[in-house]
Amino acid sequence: MTKLSPLQEERLKYQPKLPQSLSQGINSLEMVEGSATQSVRDQEQIKALFSNTYGKPVVTFKVSGSSKASEAKNVGVILSGGQAPGGHNVIAGLYDALKSANPANKLYGFLGGPSGIIDGKYIEFTDEFMNQYRNTGGFDIIGSGRTKLETEDQFRESLKVCQKLGISAVVIIGGDDSNTNAALLAEWFVKNNTGIQVIGCPKTIDGDLKNEQIEISFGFDTATKTYAELIGNIQRDANSAKKYWHFIKIMGRSASHVALEAALQTQPNITLISEEVEAKQMSLESIVNYMSDIIAKRAANGKNFGIAIIPEGLIEFIPEMKSMIANLNDIMAELESDSNFLAATSMHDKFAIVERRLDDVNASVFSSLPAGIKAQLLADRDPHGNVQVSKIETEKLLIEMISSKLNEMKSQGQFVGKFSAQSHFFGYEGRCAFPSNFDADYCYSLGYNAFALINNGLTGYLSSVRNLTKPASEWIAGGIPLTMMMNMEKRHGEMKPVIQKALVKLDGPVFKQLSDNRDDWAMNDRYLFPGAIQYFGPSSVCDITTRTLQLERAKELVNA
């Protein structure tokens, strides 16, 4: 038996809450259908590509007076994409719902992400196995992966594996790209009369898989609280030592929701929001000028320290970079099979090949970047054709450029202080944290509800639990058609149907909270220190000192 930490033991005892409608038994639910839906954009193209699953209604569940018997079913589950706190609870909710509907039901977990269903790598869940993972962070229960499910061959292999295991429904727990896979698989299964249903669950710490029915993706709550704790700790350090500027890049592949939420929880001096940078058409130079100006003004007040939050996806929102990266993505797709490029041994030669192929303006933007950033931009795309922004050190690029700008300002008498910077990247630190109570409840409900959708014969739907600012008992459970969230976008150089990402709304109340306060936060130190999200835990965690100290003290006592 694996040794557990005191907090793990305590969290295993936590019983996640369900919406009232789901808590009365899975077989006594009544499904209420809304009106037909349409995709967010490109309706004709999406309808043509999803002729069997397009236009279905939004559904909600309510308790019915009677309970109906549920035929035995085998279900498969996949964790897809980046880790997000609470994934294990989605599976726990799905497992508990499925077993309570009919104890003969079986749940299979495909290993290592979507590739598990293609390669037939799976485990069957048992009570004992499931129980070890309740309310824990991580996706290690079955592992995750980023294989894109999109080809006929992959669908046929998945079908064979499902048929071998008698699986009649697959649940894909993933973000926008993974749920796009879910929509494609659902459509293919219907088109080929397989009778296999596909249900998605909205996962991603990035918080960009949302709309009116999906208020937030799971993991965002815990991840932002974890980053806020870390930022708060750094703010204390900066405010104590008063000698460093900390440039903190915060995860979030594209949208800046994570950076924005973490900033509202901590009130740093500077917060960049990618969506604003794009809307104001801010060049890299103007971002550097904006930040340098605040640094210089604080220095003039004797403050040579501060905190700057930089969203991970920033680089793709700076207009000249966006254009260059789009051009580069197309070129990289072609270069995958270019023998000269593949044979090039030095980065210098690779840069030269790329620069020759880029349009003139994009080539000059690319060539102006430091070699390290250029190499990061050429690194492998993810399987969906995206630049891996987590590998691009924007925070270091900004430090370098701001240093030069401040030197220039100093020579003109416009900067009188010192600039010494530390860089940080918070991402992986938060993706597998113990889920907060909110995420533990929300995820369990999403999983439980996914089985309700299966039990009611739906396919091509995303599990939806909303009314989330109310107590869990008042949450509204139901489902939305995946096609409702789709539009056409360019991927790997081709137009593809994908779920549209929800970006930060610059006219919304969340961004307004930042924009109303940021001038004050820039010059005055209004830092908030949120502290540990698990602070209120078992006394063995909260009140007792570190292992190091305990071991050292124990040794000292033995030696005394």
Determine which residue in the list 106, 134, 225, 253 makes contact with ligand FBP, applying CB under 6 A.
Answer: 253
Helix segments in 57-150, DSSP class H: 87-101, 115-119, 127-131
* Torsion angle in degrees (nearest 10) through CA of 296, 302, 304, 308: -60
Residues 6+ apart with CB under 8 A from 437: 14
Can residue 200 be called a binding residue for ligand FBP (CB under 6 A)? no
Closest separation between CB of residue 445 and ligand FBP, Å?
19
Site string for ligand FBP, 393-432 (x = CB under 6 A): --------------------------------------x-
Can residue 277 be called a binding residue for ligand FBP (CB under 6 A)? no
Can residue 11 be called a binding residue for ligand FBP (CB under 6 A)? no
* 60, amino acid identity: T
Environment class of 283 (CB within 10 Å of its CB; exposed 0-12, middle 13-18, buried 19+): middle
Strands 306-311 and 461-466: unpaired
Can residue 205 be called a binding residue for ligand FBP (CB under 6 A)? yes
Cα separations (Å) of 34 from 21, 39, 50, 52, 173?
A: 17, 15, 20, 18, 24
Of 145 and 232, which CB lies nearer to ligand FBP in the complex structure? Answer: 145
Can residue 252 be called a binding residue for ligand FBP (CB under 6 A)? yes
Can residue 86 be called a binding residue for ligand FBP (CB under 6 A)? no
Of 405 and 431, which CB lies nearer to ligand FBP in the complex structure? Answer: 431
Residue 284: name the closest of 192, 392, 182 by CA: 392
Q: DSSP letters of 431-464?
A: HTSPPPHHHHHHHHHHHHHHHHHHHTT--SEEEE
Can residue 10 be called a binding residue for ligand FBP (CB under 6 A)? no
Tally of CB atoms within 10 A around 300: 12
CB 483 within 8 A of CB 57: no
Of 139 and 527, which CB lies nearer to ligand FBP in the complex structure? Answer: 139
Distance CA 450, CA 134 (A): 17
Can residue 81 be called a binding residue for ligand FBP (CB under 6 A)? yes
Closest separation between CB of residue 312 and ligand FBP, Å?
6
Site string for ligand FBP, 206-225 (x = CB under 6 A): x-------------------
Query: Of the listed 176, 177, 206, 439, which one is catalytic?
Result: 206
Strands 29-36 and 74-79: unpaired
Of 94 and 251, which CB lies nearer to ligand FBP in the complex structure? Answer: 251
Determine which residue in the list 21, 180, 197, 204 makes contact with ligand FBP, applying CB under 6 A.
Answer: 204
Of 251 and 472, which CB lies nearer to ligand FBP in the complex structure? Answer: 251
> Which one of 204-212, 224-232, 356-364, 543-551 is the stretch in contact with ligand FBP (CB under 6 A)?
204-212
Per-residue exposure over 105-125, b if at least 16 CB sit within 10 Å of its own CB, e if not: bbbbbbbbbbbbbbeeebeeb
Can residue 251 be called a binding residue for ligand FBP (CB under 6 A)? yes
Can residue 385 be called a binding residue for ligand FBP (CB under 6 A)? no
Can residue 312 be called a binding residue for ligand FBP (CB under 6 A)? yes
Active site annotation includes 206: yes
Tally of CB atoms within 10 A around 466: 18
> Which one of 202-210, 241-249, 401-409, 529-537 is the stretch in contact with ligand FBP (CB under 6 A)?
202-210
- Tell me the longest C-alpha to C-alpha distance in the chain: 81
Distance CA 231, CA 64 (A): 47
Residue 23: name the closest of 540, 520, 472 by CA: 472
Residue 291: name the closest of 393, 405, 147 by CA: 405
Distance CA 367, CA 116 (A): 41
> Which one of 56-64, 165-173, 189-197, 246-254 is the stretch in contact with ligand FBP (CB under 6 A)?
246-254
Determine which residue in the list 94, 365, 387, 389 makes contact with ligand FBP, applying CB under 6 A.
Answer: 389
> Which one of 17-25, 78-86, 120-128, 155-163 is the stretch in contact with ligand FBP (CB under 6 A)?
78-86
Beta bridge partners of 245: 306, 421
Per-residue exposure over 420-436, b if at least 16 CB sit within 10 Å of its own CB, e if not: ebebbbbbeebbbbbbb
CB 332 within 8 A of CB 386: no
Closest separation between CB of residue 472 and ligand FBP, Å?
23
Can residue 325 be called a binding residue for ligand FBP (CB under 6 A)? no
| Positions in 157-176 near ligand FBP (CB under 6 A) | 175
Q: Which helix (H) or strand (E) holds 45?
A: helix 43-49
Task: Tell me, by CB under 6 A, how many residues bind ligand FBP.
Answer: 15
Of 168 and 178, which CB lies nearer to ligand FBP in the complex structure? Answer: 178
Can residue 503 be called a binding residue for ligand FBP (CB under 6 A)? no
Tally of CB atoms within 10 A around 340: 10
Of 81 and 143, which CB lies nearer to ligand FBP in the complex structure? Answer: 81
Closest separation between CB of residue 217 and ligand FBP, Å?
8
Distance CA 489, CA 502 (A): 14
Of 98 and 432, which CB lies nearer to ligand FBP in the complex structure? Answer: 432
| Positions in 517-556 near ligand FBP (CB under 6 A) | none
Is 388 in a helix, a strand, or coil? coil
Of 251 and 282, which CB lies nearer to ligand FBP in the complex structure? Answer: 251
Closest separation between CB of residue 391 and ligand FBP, Å?
8
Can residue 390 be called a binding residue for ligand FBP (CB under 6 A)? yes
The residue ranges that bind ligand FBP (CB under 6 A) are 81-82, 84, 175, 203-206, 251-253, 312, 389-390, 431
| Residues noted as catalytic | 206
